[in-house]
C-alpha cells in the first residue's frame, strides 16, 4: 500500500509492502502532523514560533524540542559552524535537521509495526528498507537541477538514507553562516547517502552551505557519500558513491 499527502509544506509518500499497512501508514502521517505542529516556522501556534516570540522559556521546552536542539548543536560543532539554526534576528529555524530526524523516526514507527519492506520519501529525503513490491531493490532518482523531468543518476540505497539539498527548487534558502549575505553560486545541488536519512540530511545541508568545499567535506567523513552538481552543469562524486549507482 502507498499513500502520498501534502504535509510539512511538501509531498510525503509512504509505501509499505508488508501486511497491516493501513494502520501503519496512518500512524506515520499522524506522527508527521505532530512534528509539523511543533516545529513549523510558518505556524503561529508551533513551539518554534513560541520560542522565537519569547513566549516560551527553555525550562518549558518539550522533550522533542530539546532532542532536536541538542542534535542541531552537535551538527554545528561537527561541521565547523556551517550548519547553524540560529538566525540573524535572534530566532531559530531547525528545519535543516527536523526533516531527516522526523523521517528516521517515522521509519522506526514502521519497523516497530513489524514491517520490513517500506519506503518513505519526504520532499526528496528518503529512508527505505528491504525490497519493493516486485521483490527488487528500492531505487532513488537524482533529478537534473536544470531539467526537473530528467533523472541524471539512479541509486540503490540498500537501507541507507538519501537526502538532497539545493537551490533549484526553493531558490537561495541555504546560506554560509561564515559569510552573511553571500549567496552560494557555484553549487546547485548536493545529494548525500548516509547510514540513515538523519545523517544524510543534516550533512547534506551543511555540505551545501560550504559551497565548493562541501563535496570534499563529505569525502572525509566515514559512512557518507556525496554527489555534487555544479552551476557549470558538471558533477563530482565521492570515491565510493558509485557503489550505490545503478545507472
pLDDT at residue 199 is higher than 80: yes
Cell for 26? Answer: 496512518
* pLDDT tens string 91-125: 999 999 999 999 999 999 999 999 999 999 999 99
Top-confidence residue, 70 or 173: 70
Q: Can you name the residues that pair with 199 across neighbouring β-strands?
A: none
Cell for 234? Answer: 558538471
pLDDT at residue 72 is higher than 60: yes
- pLDDT value, residue 10: 93
Q: How far apart are CA 60 and CA 58, in angstroms?
A: 5
pLDDT at residue 197 is higher than 90: yes
With beta carbons less than 8 A apart as the criterion, state whether 18 and 1 touch.
no
pLDDT at residue 175 is higher than 90: no
Mean pLDDT score, 1-19: 93
Considering the entire predicted model, what is its pTM? 0.93
* Sheet of 161-166, strands arranged across: 2-7, 10-16, 118-122, 125-129, 161-166, 187-194, 225-230, 235-237
Q: How far apart are CA 107 and CA 25, in angstroms?
A: 10
Cell for 47? Answer: 513551539
With beta carbons less than 8 A apart as the criterion, state whether 50 and 62 touch.
no
CATH number 3.40.640.10 is the correct assignment for the domain at 2-129+137-244: no
Amino acid at each position: 500500500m502507498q499513500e502520498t499527502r501534502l504535509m510539512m509544506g511538501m509531498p510525503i509518500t509512504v509505501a509499505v509492502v508488508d501486511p497491516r499497512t493501513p494502520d501503519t501508514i496512518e500512524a506515520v502521517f499522524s506522527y508527521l502532523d505532530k512534528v509539523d505542529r511543533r516545529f513549523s516556522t510558518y505556524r503561529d501556534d508551533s513551539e518554534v514560533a513560541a520560542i522565537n516570540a519569547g513566549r516560551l522559556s527553555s525550562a518549558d521546552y518539550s522533550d522533542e524540542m530539546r532532542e532536536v536542539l541538542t542534535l542541531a548543536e552537535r551538527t554545528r560543532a561537527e561541521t565547523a559552524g556551517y550548519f547553524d539554526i540560529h538566525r540573524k534576528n535572534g530566532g531559530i529555524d531547525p528545519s535543516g535537521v527536523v526533516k531527516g530526524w522526523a523521517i528516521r523516526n517515522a521509519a522506526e514507527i514502521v519497523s516497530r509495526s513489524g514491517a520490513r519492506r517500506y519506503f518513505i520519501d519526504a520532499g526528496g529525503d528518503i529512508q527505505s528498507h528491504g525490497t519493493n513490491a516486485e521483490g527488487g531493490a528500492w531505487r532513488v532518482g537524482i533529478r537534473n537541477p536544470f531539467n526537473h523531468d530528467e533523472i541524471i543518476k539512479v541509486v540503490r540505497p540498500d537501507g541507507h538514507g538519501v537526502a538532497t539539498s539545493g537551490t533549484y527548487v526553493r531558490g537561495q534558502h541555504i546560506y554560509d553562516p561564515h559569510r552573511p549575505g553571500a549567496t552560494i553560486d557555484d553549487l546547485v545541488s548536493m545529494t548525500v547517502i548516509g547510514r540513515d536519512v538523519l545523517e544524510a540530511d543534516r550533512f547534506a545541508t551543511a555540505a551545501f552551505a560550504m559551497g565548493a568545499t562541501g563535496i570534499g567535506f563529505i569525502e572525509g567523513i566515514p559512512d557518507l557519500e556525496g554527489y555534487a552538481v555544479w552551476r557549470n552543469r558538471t558533477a563530482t562524486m565521492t570515491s565510493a558513491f558509485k557503489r550505490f549507482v545503478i545507472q
